[in-house]
Structure 1
Amino acid sequence: MNRLNLVLVLLAVALASGCDDDTTDPVVLEDCPAAVAVVVGSGLNPTFDWQPQCQLFFINVEPADAGNDLWTVITRGENGISPTVAYGVVPVGATQITEPTSLQAGTLYKVVLARFTGPGDEDGEIIAIQEFTP
């Protein structure tokens, strides 16, 4: 075998060994149940995670003592938001209803999560409310 053929064979073996036979489909999450536990990350741009890992349709952040929305995202007509979500970053497939307002350190906020129930595109029920202070 000449040198070029040897190099080509070694290259083919290296490429083939780098291929993964794993054809596992992406994890498809179920719709959220009637209640979830929320974990809020630290900082002025916190992350929102929930257990069990499931899909919901609405996230809203507001001051803990007032009802004005600081950031709202929704997937109308379906539970399409999967964890983890960062404040101000619109999840794939979601629509931003309220643009993010800068959070202030030391201020008490709350995040509200809801699941879609139908029949209307924006009909849902609250499944978690968690207060946090960045």
Structure 2
Amino acid sequence: MSRGAERIIRIPFLGREVRLRAVWPVSAFTLLDMIITLILLGILAGSLAWRYYTPDFSGQARQQAARAALAGGYSRLKLATASYAVDNGDLPAALQDLSPDYMNATVPMGDYTVVYIQGANQVTLEIYPGMATSGAPLATRTFDWP
């Protein structure tokens, strides 16, 4: 690095004039300045990049939550069937036999709603988001019943 151009500055100080010699560098950035700048830019990019490059696990979390609601709905149906059998001495002939004392056909479970649909010797559980029971279900399971 060259020493640059010298310049003499005269400043009046306590009634006398003081001469200061100042050196202004002529060259631009040094290697150390560039390294520090690159390190700071790397820290800034690293702190902001996670917003754009992190994987989206929210879809997997929604699927797991729907599966958990499906398992909860299945357990609730089995418990209602067992309670009906203990109270009445026989298995219910239809899902309507379980309503309203043991279980309803539409059951809210947290962020989801479980809908029970009876077929011939089968029951289908459908999971819907929120309280709405229209549109396509998030998850469906059919099993033999009773």
Normalising by the residue count of structure 2, what TM-score does the alignment of the two structures yield?
Answer: 0.26
More helix, by proportion: 2
Per chain length, whose mean CA-contact separation is higher, i.e. which structure has more relative contact order (CA < 8 Å, sep 6+)? 1
Normalising by the residue count of structure 1, what TM-score does the alignment of the two structures yield?
Answer: 0.27
Larger radius of gyration: 2
